[in-house]
Structure 1
């Protein structure tokens, strides 16, 4: 899907706006899991999540194209929307972001702060996406998808940083929303010729990619009701699934209770703030810890954007 040159070119665009994020081996996480754990800290980007990388590359390419759009519109639960809002503002393009009704108050505030017009429509992400497509037609805006080659090229830069900075990893766990993160990780792993296994992570309450991986074809679900809004997707992307089928070792399902426990573990062992999807990789490792005694594992901490009341309840174990 992507060559090493594609990702290195994308890294030039990304690093013009932000530095590489850190990857640390945390000793208390090693003690907890029984293996050496390297955490890629995508909670340390300008938007608090990995998605900003894809937005920067996508909007840079859009700005260089012709004709110039009068504006863009996209759907999100928050992190993708923040990335598009920030990147659109950097390129002088107006952005409209559609979120589901009842979406994260703090993520909504962040998108507005980056300069986006916010529209609330639909009961979940997939419904908001339909509303965004309608709005694109009505207003003559360019629809920014949640999965696209340029978005994957951008987010793949975190995998490039991780694989070049950390020692050789046996396995990397990656949370799956629509799939840009895991597809980027697979692409970089393959481009570098590494033997690292890539394992996807989904919520038991939003298992569409796990079901699709097992079936070998797209399988949608009727709901995606999970606290991990970054993984709350009902309909997999066919192109992303094709990459995952060819390059992923397996997909692990984790419950909201396991995600909550992983969020508390991150706080106790590293004092890092994590959102639900951000802690999902650790939740999967904790579920499968017996596989990795004495080995070296990478975790993608994909983001730290979570509303304070939700985080307080999670830390309290509620």
Structure 2
């Protein structure tokens, strides 16, 4: 995929836009989980999520090589779109984003505030992606996928920072949407010659990669039923699946109730707000507390962009 030198260069370009995010060992979370726990705070990037790292690398290259003269278009539930809009404004590339109908109002507002033109279409992310590809052909725009080498290279910088900030980790839980974050973490682990166990995390309501890993081939699911919109993917990417299959020890699926409990735990123990996908790794660790006891574990708090109404109605209501 990429070399350590390429990753170091990408990290420098990311850090030209914002500083590395911190990694903290939170004592109350350690007591709760029974492990020495290191949290990588990707909720503290300029867009509130890790994906901005990949967007910066991808859009910078598109601008440098003049590959999107009319602008680019993509589909998202929010964080990928914010990353492209942030980078598009930085590098002068117009950005159009297709979101599913009923998408997060706050994420929609954030993308518009960053200068993106929004189009609402379809019942879920995968339907929005099909529409974005159609509009790309119709309007002469470059389609920016949610899984791409540039994106993996950029987002891998969070894992490089974590492995260098924290003591040697026994295990790292990483959420899986379309797969850029976990693929980046696997590559960094291997480049650094570490033996850290990498564990994927999916929603029980959207287990496309878990089923694909069990079947040994990509398996499309009919519905992605979860409030953790960053995990709501029905169709796995074959390239991502190949990397995941070769590099993870297992995939853990978590229920929405477990994710909500993890969001509450983050708030109670750290006063950091996590979105559903951001809290999913903690939910998986809490599920596996017994088998992980006494180990040194890393978690990316991959994003904090949860709507206030969702936080109130789905998370606090279950407290």
- Work out whether the TM-score is over 0.5: yes
Q: Compute the TM-score of the two structures, normalised by the length of structure 1.
A: 0.99
Q: Tell me the distance in 2 between the aligned counterparts of 1:43 and 1:113.
A: 18
Alpha-carbon distance, 1:69 to partner: 2.2
Partner of 2:167: 167
- Map of 1:131-210 to 2, 5 A cutoff? 131-210=131-210
Q: Tell me the distance in 2 between the aligned counterparts of 1:57 and 1:166.
A: 25
Alpha-carbon distance, 1:66 to partner: 3.8
Alpha-carbon distance, 1:293 to partner: 1.3
Structure 2: stretches of 5+ with no match in the other structure: none
- Map of 1:1-318 to 2, 5 A cutoff? 1-313=1-313, 314-317=315-318
Alpha-carbon distance, 1:158 to partner: 0.1
**CA distances 1:269-297 after superposition (whole Å, capped 9, x unpaired):** 11110100000000000000111111100
**CA distances 1:24-62 after superposition (whole Å, capped 9, x unpaired):** 000001100111110010000000000000000000111
Structure 1: stretches of 5+ with no match in the other structure: none
Q: Tell me the distance in 2 between the aligned counterparts of 1:287 and 1:7.
A: 33
Q: Tell me the distance in 2 between the aligned counterparts of 1:115 and 1:194.
A: 40
Q: Tell me the distance in 1 between the aligned counterparts of 2:13 and 2:217.
A: 34
Q: Tell me the distance in 2 between the aligned counterparts of 1:143 and 1:163.
A: 33
- Over the aligned positions, Cα root-mean-square deviation in angstroms equals 0.8
Q: Is the CA contact 1:51–1:155 (under 8 Å) kept in the aligned structure 2?
A: yes
Q: Tell me the distance in 2 between the aligned counterparts of 1:172 and 1:265.
A: 18
Secondary structure class of the residue paired with 2:93: coil
**CA distances 1:111-152 after superposition (whole Å, capped 9, x unpaired):** 000000000000000000000001101110000000000000
Alpha-carbon distance, 1:2 to partner: 2.1
Q: Is the CA contact 1:259–1:279 (under 8 Å) kept in the aligned structure 2?
A: yes
Q: Is the CA contact 2:68–2:142 (under 8 Å) kept in the aligned structure 1?
A: no
Superposed structure 1 runs of 4+ greater than 4 Å apart: none
Q: Is the CA contact 1:263–1:315 (under 8 Å) kept in the aligned structure 2?
A: no
Alpha-carbon distance, 1:67 to partner: 4.6
Secondary structure class of the residue paired with 1:223: coil
Q: Tell me the distance in 1 between the aligned counterparts of 2:89 and 2:250.
A: 38
Q: Tell me the distance in 2 between the aligned counterparts of 1:227 and 1:75.
A: 18
Secondary structure class of the residue paired with 1:63: helix
**CA distances 1:50-88 after superposition (whole Å, capped 9, x unpaired):** 000000000011111145421000000000000000101
Q: Is the CA contact 1:3–1:187 (under 8 Å) kept in the aligned structure 2?
A: no
Q: Compute the TM-score of the two structures, normalised by the length of structure 2.
A: 0.98
Secondary structure class of the residue paired with 2:318: coil
